[in-house]
Amino acid sequence: MALLLTGGAGYIGSIVAEYCINAGYDLIILDDLREGNIKSLPNSVKFYQVNYGDKKALQDIFTNNAIDCVIHLAASSNVPHSVIVPELYYSNNITNTLTLLECMQEFGVRKFIFSSSAAIYGEPEYQPVDENHAHIPINPYGKSKLFVEEILKDLANSNKLKFVAFRFFCAAGATAFNGESRKDETHLIPLVVDCALRKKDEMYVFGNKFNTIDGSGVRDYVHVADIAQAHVLALKNFDTVANDFFNIGTDSGNSVLELVALAEKIFHRKIPMKIVDSRPGDPESLVASSAKIRKDLGWKPLFGLEQILLSTFLWRKNPRY
């Protein structure tokens, strides 16, 4: 089976690429490299440096490659930034995805795996959050992902597409080959690790007045390798799970301060931090129920928070790129 992977040079995309290649799939990668890194990809992979909203470039790719399935990981994904410039998130995440879906229909490609987000749920009414929870996103990023989910349902209902959509919770961790290597890092775990490595003098804790165990925000951290494995399972079982939505999380959450304390214990180093105001668009707590993906796909997380921190530490200490 030949796969087109959008965003395949990005953090999650590069690790999904690793797992798909190891599972024996032929891979074609599309990435505009605004956030991705060409060094994350093996030399054997066919690569196109284009934006997935470029219709002419997409038509050329579909013309020159016999593609069976598209895995769509390319997106603008910074929640606080989406509050500042929402138009960018609606344009890139919705309009450009529509262009991709239109090209798939033009060339008869009917299988689609979509990276959605826990951000579609907004402030949870109960936790762990299952897939039937109300969808009330509180930031433009979450709204953009939910809009695409509605598009996918409509296309499936009109028999134009079959899809599997994964709602990621907090992806973190690294493999031996790939990890988070952004120019301007905003994610908590690499920032904590950079403080432990003395690459950063101080980290910010955004809010300490939430209704949580210690006042700091709570998230469900899932190893990126476990996310990649979910994609391989979806490919292998596509026809039996098509046209459905799955959380990828661990059923447990950790607060920012709990995570910092664990990092200090593991690395035997003090993590300097500063409490600042909470950010617009950030829910106080977001923890997944993974019952559905465990039952329907046989998935389970293989890596815990300590392994996430250790793998991130090893990657940030000696990154490959």
Beta bridge partners of 246: 166
Nearest to 36 by CA among 57, 4, 11, 65: 11
Q: Which of 19, 52, 141, 221 is catalytic?
A: 141
Q: Which DSSP state fits 288?
A: B
Contacting residues for 89 by C-beta, under 8 A, at least 6 apart? 76, 82, 140, 141, 143, 144
CA of 53: how far to CAs of 12, 47, 123, 166, 245, in Å? 20, 16, 31, 21, 24
Beta strand pairing call for 221-223 and 285-286: unpaired
Element (H, E) at 172: strand 170-172
25 is known as an active-site residue: no
Tokens of 42: 């093996």
178/263 Cα distance (integer angstroms): 21
By annotation, the residues acting in catalysis are 141
